[in-house]
Chain A
Amino acid sequence: MTDAGRIAAIEAKAARMRYDIVEMIAEAGSGHPGGSLSAADIVATLYFDVLRHDPTRPDWPERDRFVLSKGHAAPVLYAALAEAGYFGRDHLVTLRKLGSILQGHPDCLKCSGVEVSTGSLGQGLAIANGMALALKLDENPARVFCLLGDGELQEGEVWEAAMFAPHHGLGNVTAIVDHNGLQIDGACDEVMCLGGVAEKFAAFGWEVRETSGHDVEGLLDALTEPPADPAVPVAIIAYTVKGKGVSFMEGDAGWHGKAPSAEQTAAALAELGSLLDAAMTTMTEGGAR
């Protein structure tokens, strides 16, 4: 596949996932669209290119692992897992409903492909580190990718874990920050200033890369380029737009955790449907634009 074709294929997956995200949250009547949409390109790039995984063997020992530390963005993970084939797409409409494998936040005991349950913020990176440490002990070449929210960086445990990974030489860990700048109560920097996120990770000893979290080519480079020192973990600061893809959700903290009304859903799906059609056309044409 040409690079353009490779990128177009990921973009088509991301467009499909965005459509699914809005559709499933609307059906559920609650959920977190903003941070799911902001992470769609990141998660699509991981699941449909970067990660070595096999949906028919979710416990394949050498699979790369993904930990969704920002567990409230469960819909983006479910959309990717369904699209990849971990479970049937018919499950998507059961999101947040009694008896569903798709809990409000990811539950590894219920849902195939979820490595560990998350939802309480700030915990994913420590878990990812422990997984990476075990892989090293077992001389397993698999890698661990952990997606964090930026608001989540206000949790102290994140920095305990940020200190830990370089100290233990966990070059098999990649942390990705979905830096959309918004949290429930408003702008992160107004609620509790994050300061320079890239500088902070660098100061803790990580190799830091910055990219747009909506530029698939940039994400591919950031996610696949080996670190200069194989014992140094990589932190990717991915600058994103909360609610990306739905014009009236973009950049609005109000869409952190609520479902759209019927009219809003129709408008959002019309926009996302157009984006999906365009992405599919581009992909079919081999990525030419």
Chain B
Amino acid sequence: MSEKRATREAYGATLIELANEGVPVVAVDADLSGSTTTAKFGAAYPDRLINVGIAEQNMIGTAAGLAVEGKVAFTGSFAVFATGRAYDQIRNTVCYSNLDVKVAPTHSGITVGPDGGSHQMLEDIALMRVLPGMRVLVPADAVAARGAIRVAATTPGPFYIRLGRAAVPVIYDDDYTFELGRARVLREGSHVTLAACGVMVEQALAAAGQLELEGINAEVIDVSTIKPFDTATLVASALKTGVVVTCEEHSIIGGLGSAVAEALGEHAPVPLARVGVRDVFGTSGEPAELMEHFGLTGADIAEAARAVIGRR
């Protein structure tokens, strides 16, 4: 687990792969093709990367038109602009017409770092999750990101893929395949379930390591698909361990924690703790500092696990 790569690094490279295979992918970016890495795709397929300038609404609208004509249109920009700035375009044009637009921005969450709260998107999972027809993927590493992009490209209809800026450890082997709608148990345990997504999978695994030293056996689940949600896997784990901690680099409102709470509330009400950003905006700082500042480290997850076990 020594190699580190940002999930965004998979973006341009995977689009090239898909185009080479004959998938009619195009990318529409908004003056951030270097940051999102769609520029790499543009270098290989110049006609198929369309830069709209700093105009995210137009980015989504143009992608929608391309999709109407049979293209598989990926869009870029940063998560905060690609979702919030263009929300109505995503709702009323992409989702309402059920178009093959894959909203895959980078720079989600606080690990954006020094750019600060204006650029750290913490509400995107919530915004995208409520849209009818939208599938929401949050890959944990660059390997899963490649898999998520491939699944989105080859499955009809709208997708949201949450990519990040910061380099994170590679968790998965190259033979990994992304399964839409399936949460993956990375480590089996019997005392507490740690359900995580994105960069928080690494932190959950670290928490499980810490807890093991105390004799607490944690089950770690990578919930890489937030929607459609894998209720069966989460409920089975909750019934086994009896307590659940959710871990996300996102607001605790509306994201993974909410999705888990909804599923457990209906099917397996057990004590639940949500580790995430607690209804505040982000702030400037280095990613590692911010993870500590907002209480998103492995140690924070372990602490939440101990507390929730006490509520059993």
CB distance from A101 to the nearest CB of B (A): 15
Residues of A within 8 A of B118 (CB): none
Report the Cα distance A127→B73, complex, angstroms: 12
Residues of A within 8 A of B96 (CB): 107, 117
Given A116-B65, A126-B64, A133-B50 in contact, is the A160-B88 Cβ separation under 8 Å? Answer: no
Report the Cα distance A168→B26, complex, angstroms: 15
Q: Is the interface of B mostly helix, strand, loop or mixed?
A: helix
Contact B61 A123 (CB under 8 A): yes
CB distance from B242 to the nearest CB of A (A): 44
Report the Cα distance A157→B64, complex, angstroms: 14
CB distance from A43 to the nearest CB of B (A): 20
Report the Cα distance A137→B98, complex, angstroms: 22
Contact A156 B57 (CB under 8 A): yes
A109: contacting residue among B69, B93, B98, CB under 8 A = B98
Check A51 for interface membership: any CB of B closer than 8 A: no
A160: contacting residue among B57, B92, B98, CB under 8 A = B57
Given A120-B88, A160-B55, A161-B61 in contact, is the A127-B93 Cβ separation under 8 Å? Answer: yes
Residues of B within 8 A of A128 (CB): 65
Q: Which of B73, B96, B98 has the most CB of A within 10 A?
A: B96
Contact A133 B65 (CB under 8 A): yes
- From 136 to 166 in chain A, residues with beta carbon under 8 angstroms from any chain B beta carbon are 137-138, 156-157, 160-161, 163-164
**B88 to A, closest residue via Cβ:** A120
B52: contacting residue among A116, A125, A164, CB under 8 A = A164
Report the Cα distance A132→B61, complex, angstroms: 12
Given A123-B92, A137-B48, A163-B53 in contact, is the A130-B98 Cβ separation under 8 Å? Answer: no
**B69 to A, closest residue via Cβ:** A134
Q: Which of A109, A122, A126, A129 has the most CB of B within 10 A?
A: A126
**A162 to B, closest residue via Cβ:** B58
Report the Cα distance A115→B99, complex, angstroms: 11
Given A123-B61, A129-B62, A157-B61 in contact, is the A109-B97 Cβ separation under 8 Å? Answer: yes
Report the Cα distance A223→B1, complex, angstroms: 62
**A132 to B, closest residue via Cβ:** B65
Q: Is the interface of A mostly helix, strand, loop or mixed?
A: helix
Residues of B within 8 A of A116 (CB): 64-65, 68, 93, 97, 99
B65: contacting residue among A108, A130, A156, A163, CB under 8 A = A130
Check B225 for interface membership: any CB of A closer than 8 A: no
- From 47 to 89 in chain B, residues with beta carbon under 8 angstroms from any chain A beta carbon are 47-48, 50, 52-53, 55, 57-58, 60-71, 73, 88-89
A131: contacting residue among B26, B47, B60, B68, CB under 8 A = B68
Report the Cα distance A156→B53, complex, angstroms: 14
Residues of A within 8 A of B73 (CB): 130
Check A202 for interface membership: any CB of B closer than 8 A: no
Given A120-B92, A127-B68 in contact, is the A108-B97 Cβ separation under 8 Å? Answer: yes
Report the Cα distance A133→B64, complex, angstroms: 11
**A125 to B, closest residue via Cβ:** B61
Check A135 for interface membership: any CB of B closer than 8 A: yes
Contact B50 A168 (CB under 8 A): yes
Residues of B within 8 A of A120 (CB): 88-89, 91-93
Residues of A within 8 A of B58 (CB): 126, 157, 160-161, 164
Residues of A within 8 A of B61 (CB): 123, 125-127, 129-130, 157, 161
Report the Cα distance A164→B53, complex, angstroms: 9
- From 82 to 114 in chain A, residues with beta carbon under 8 angstroms from any chain B beta carbon are 107-109
Report the Cα distance A125→B279, complex, angstroms: 37
Report the Cα distance A123→B64, complex, angstroms: 10
Contact A117 B97 (CB under 8 A): yes
Report the Cα distance A132→B308, complex, angstroms: 56
Contact B92 A126 (CB under 8 A): no
Report the Cα distance A131→B70, complex, angstroms: 9
CB distance from A32 to the nearest CB of B (A): 17
Q: What per-residue 1/0 map shows which CB atoms of A225-252 lie under 8 Å from chain B?
A: 0000000000000000000000000000
CB distance from A177 to the nearest CB of B (A): 17
CB distance from B25 to the nearest CB of A (A): 12
Q: 29 A–B contact pairs at CB < 8 A?
A: A115-B68, A117-B93, A117-B96, A117-B97, A120-B88, A120-B92, A122-B57, A123-B57, A123-B64, A123-B88, A123-B93, A125-B61, A126-B61, A126-B65, A127-B61, A127-B62, A127-B93, A128-B65, A130-B73, A131-B66, A134-B68, A156-B57, A161-B58, A161-B61, A161-B62, A163-B53, A163-B55, A164-B55, A164-B58
The 7 closest A-B pairs by CB, nearest first: A130-B65, A126-B61, A134-B69, A160-B58, A160-B55, A120-B92, A130-B62
Binding site for B on A (CB under 8 A): 107-109, 115-120, 122-123, 125-135, 137-138, 156-157, 160-161, 163-164, 168
Given pairs A122-B57, A131-B68, A160-B52, 7 additional interface contacts (CB within 8 A)? A123-B57, A126-B60, A126-B61, A129-B65, A131-B65, A161-B62, A164-B55
